[in-house]
Amino acid sequence: GENVEQHPSTLSVQEGDSAVIKCTYSDSASNYFPWYKQELGKRPQLIIDIRSNVGEKKDQRIAVTLNKTAKHFSLHITETQPEDSAVYFCAASEGFQKLVFGTGTRLLVSP
Amino acid sequence: GAVVSQHPSRVICKSGTSVKIECRSLDFQATTMFWYRQFPKKSLMLMATSNEGSKATYEQGVEKDKFLINHASLTLSTLTVTSAHPEDSSFYICSARDLRTPYNEQFFGPGTRLTVL
């Protein structure tokens, strides 16, 4: 089955800096890669996603890149703000199948 | 986006009792819902896939007789933790797949924190 690894587990940046979180997946059949943001005690919220027919997708300060050959994808947050502090999870799935989540990255943005 | 609710948000029960958690899709029909368990500072662990009108599909290592799932309608799935024990204490989150979205996006409920004394 699919296995998703995520790094780093924690990431501390200063406000205004960029943050990059990386994930690798094992199943070459996976073709959907969403990213979720989860604040303490709250539900995961989808922030951006990408399908395997696209190499990059951007939404304001957030972007995701995908390298199908290497089987890895990354989340890029630019101009970080304190409200970006949360736990971020990557995930992978094949079509409409179940999502397999990464282990999570705790992002702390200091003012 | 679509709205998914969960009830109750918190529950405390005695060891040996059963607890039912409801997951509802409020503004869309969901033929497929998912149940996750999340330990503190850990990732979401998929427990089972709930399919409307058929039996749930459980992940390896999840006891189906302990975690009973019923998906009797297109807007409601329930998870019953039977004969709960302290080790069942956790944060349980459901999600529902919205087929109206381009990628059949999963929307998550707010979660239920279960504490078994």
pLDDT at B52: 87
For chain B, how far is it from start to end, CA to CA, in angstroms?
37
Q: Does the structure show a pLDDT above 90 at A107? A: yes
pLDDT at B105: 85
Mean pLDDT, chain B, rounded, equals 93
Q: Does the structure show a pLDDT above 90 at A41? A: no
What gap in Å lies between CA B46 and CA B63, rounded to an integer? 13
Q: Is A19 left (phi over 0), alpha (psi -120 to 50) or beta?
A: beta
Q: How many residues in total does chain B contain?
A: 117
Q: Among B5, B50, B47, which residue's Cα sits nearest to residue B32?
A: B50
Inter-chain CB proximity A98 and B46 less than 8 Å: yes
Mean pLDDT, chain A, rounded, equals 94
- Per-residue confidence at B2, pLDDT binned at 50, 70, 90? confident
- Per-residue confidence at B53, pLDDT binned at 50, 70, 90? confident
Lowest mean pLDDT among A21-30, A74-83, A86-95, B100-109: B100-109
* pLDDT (mean) for A77-103: 93
Residue type, B13: C
Mutate to test the interface with B, among A43, A90, A93 (most CBs of B within 10 A): A43
Check if the beta carbon of residue B2 is closer than 8 Å to that of residue B96: yes
Is A34 touching B (CB cutoff 8 A)? yes
pLDDT at A12: 98
Q: B7: which 2 tokens?
A: 């009830």
* pLDDT (mean) for A54-66: 94
Q: Among B89, B93, B84, B92, which residue's Cα sits nearest to residue B115?
A: B89
Q: pLDDT > 70: what percent of chain A? A: 100
Q: B32: which 2 tokens?
A: 């497929």
Nearest CB among B43, B93, B97 relative to A104 is that of B43
pLDDT at B11: 97
Q: Which residues contact B32 (CB under 8 A, 6 or more apart)?
A: A96, B49, B50, B51, B52, B96, B97
Q: pLDDT by residue (tens digit) across A23-40?
A: 999 999 999 999 999 998
Lowest mean pLDDT among A92-101, B16-25, B40-49, B63-72: A92-101
Q: pLDDT > 70: what percent of chain B? A: 100
Nearest CB among A51, A89, A106 relative to B44 is that of A89
Residues of A in contact with B3 (CB under 8 A): none
* pLDDT (mean) for A58-71: 96
